[in-house]
Amino acid sequence: MSLKQANHPITEHDYLQGELVAKTKHEFIDGDVYAMAGASEYHNLLSGNIFAELKNQLKYTPCRTFIADMKVKVANDFFYPDVMVVCQQDNDFDYYKQSPVIIVEVLSKSTRKFDKTAKRLKYQSIPTLEEYVLIEQTIGEIEVFRRKEYWQSSYYYLGDAITFESLAITVLVEDIYYQVNNEDVLAFLQEKTQTGPVPTPYFEQQKP
- Which phi and psi (to 5°) does residue 54 adopt? -65, -45
Mapped onto helix, strand or coil, the DSSP state of residue 1 is coil
Count of all residues that appear for the chain in the document: 208
What are the DSSP calls for 5-49, one per residue? E-SS---HHHHHHHHHH-SS-EEEETTEEEEEPPPPHHHHHHHHH
Question: How far is Cα 100 from Cα 167, in angstroms, rounded to an integer?
Answer: 11
Which pLDDT value is given to residue 29?
Answer: 94
Question: How far is Cα 10 from Cα 26, in angstroms, rounded to an integer?
Answer: 12
Which pLDDT value is given to residue 194?
Answer: 87
Closest by CA to 29, choosing from 92, 91, 132, 115, is 115
For the chain, domain boundaries: 39-192
Question: How far is Cα 205 from Cα 54, in angstroms, rounded to an integer?
Answer: 39
pLDDT tens per residue across span 104-161: 999 998 889 999 999 999 999 999 999 999 999 999 999 999 999 999 999 999 999 9
Run of H or E residues at 57: helix 41-57
Run of H or E residues at 97: strand 96-97
In sequence order, which residues have a C-beta less than 8 Å from that of residue 166 and are 6 or more positions away?
Answer: 101, 102, 130, 131
Which pLDDT value is given to residue 198?
Answer: 47
Q: Classify 39-192 by CATH class.
A: alpha beta
Which pLDDT value is given to residue 202?
Answer: 44
Which pLDDT value is given to residue 200?
Answer: 52
| Residues with pLDDT less than 70, the chain | 1-8, 90-92, 196-208
Determine how many CB atoms are found less than 10 A away from the CB of residue 185: 19
For the chain, first and last CA: distance in Å?
58
- 157 within 8 A of 182, measured Cβ to Cβ: no
Run of H or E residues at 50: helix 41-57
Q: In what order do the strands lie in the sheet with 141-146?
A: 64-67, 83-86, 100-106, 131-135, 141-146, 153-157
